[in-house]
């Protein structure tokens, strides 16, 4: 008798496959309020573009990015900048009809005990129906999609946070691909969407290349890893400048880079 094992695999979008349920208005929702007592309201626009009714599950989790580690999604209230139970949604689950566009509403209760700075949490929207079913060697894999929608609240006038370079490492991914991995840490109270570019100079000080901006969110006390492709730089030793731009301040670091 042949047995078939059933596995369920949860995938965070973006995906190479097309999900039946999509988010129309982005995966980051930012709010700026003058005082901690101010109540916040927002809407996540969800649409079913599939060929059948789909059920979504809605729940909340924290988002934590430790230095040089994968992002983690612990239970709410896991750190001092979590929105905690103050972030609420109007539904925990709902069936969305074919071609229906639904407004998933959320509120954030004011909390006078919060200090000025950035607070955040994620709303998970999980599509309960499998997106794809495949059988490999007697194992059937059901792939499901969940969207992690970041909800960010800035309290008070936003200040540019001080950043620090925690780690810079050259990595030969394959014979054709090389990366410079830059780990930046936010040492301030406010989050910052940060662009990182690499400027490459030859031995005579001539600029050979400026990479395309690599953009990531840096939350207070957290890190992000910026991966900069350097595949098209010929082998050799170069003087380089890494520039991190928060739109309020620039943070630079000089490095010597050996391309192999």
Q: What is the pLDDT of residues 65-84, one digit of tens each?
A: 999 888 999 999 999 999 99
DSSP class of residue 199? Answer: E
Question: What CATH number should be reported for the domain holding residue 217?
Answer: 2.60.40.10
**Mean pLDDT across the chain, nearest whole number?**
89
Q: Which pLDDT belongs to residue 35?
A: 97
Tally the residues of the chain. Answer: 260
Evaluate whether 35 touches 111 at the Cβ level (below 8 Å): no
Per-residue pLDDT, averaged over 129-152, amounts to: 72
Q: Are residues 184 and 225 in the same domain?
A: yes
Residues 93 and 151 in one domain: yes
pTM: 0.86
> 184, 167, 244: which is closest to 219 by C-alpha?
184
pLDDT digits (tens, 9 = 90+) for 211-254: 999 999 999 999 999 999 998 888 899 999 999 999 999 999 99
Domain termination residue (choose one: 102, 132, 155): 155
Task: Work out how many domains the chain is built from and give that number.
Answer: 2
Domain assignment present for residue 40? The answer is yes
Looking at the DSSP bridge assignments, the partners of residue 29 are: 151
């Amino acid at each position: 008798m042949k047995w078939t094992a059933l596995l369920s695999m949860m995938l965070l979008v973006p995906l190479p496959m097309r999900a039946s349920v999509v988010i129309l208005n982005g995966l980051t929702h930012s709010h700026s309020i003058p005082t901690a007592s101010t109540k916040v309201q927002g809407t996540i626009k969800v649409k079913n573009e599939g060929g059948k009714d789909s059920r979504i599950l809605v729940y909340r989790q924290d988002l934590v990015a430790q230095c040089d580690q994968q992002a983690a999604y612990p239970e709410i209230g896991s750190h001092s900048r979590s929105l905690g139970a103050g972030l609420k949604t109007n539904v925990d689950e709902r069936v969305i009809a074919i071609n229906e566009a639904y407004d998933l509403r959320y509120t954030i209760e004011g909390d006078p005990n919060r200090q000025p700075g950035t607070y955040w949490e994620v709303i998970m929207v999980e599509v309960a129906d499998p997106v794809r079913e495949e059988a490999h060697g007697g194992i059937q894999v059901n792939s499901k999609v969940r969207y992690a929608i970041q909800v960010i609240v800035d309290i008070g006038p936003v200040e540019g946070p001080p950043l620090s370079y925690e780690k810079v490492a050259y990595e030969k991914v394959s014979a054709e691909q090389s990366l410079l991995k830059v780990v930046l840490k936010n040492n301030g109270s406010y989050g910052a969407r940060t662009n990182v570019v690499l400027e490459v100079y030859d031995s005579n000080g001539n600029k050979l290349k400026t990479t395309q901006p690599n953009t990531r969110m840096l939350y207070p006390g957290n890190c992000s890893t910026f991966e900069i492709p350097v595949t098209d730089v010929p082998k050799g030793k170069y003087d380089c400048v890494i520039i991190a731009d928060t739109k309020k301040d620039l943070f630079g670091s000089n490095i010597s880079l050996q391309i192999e």
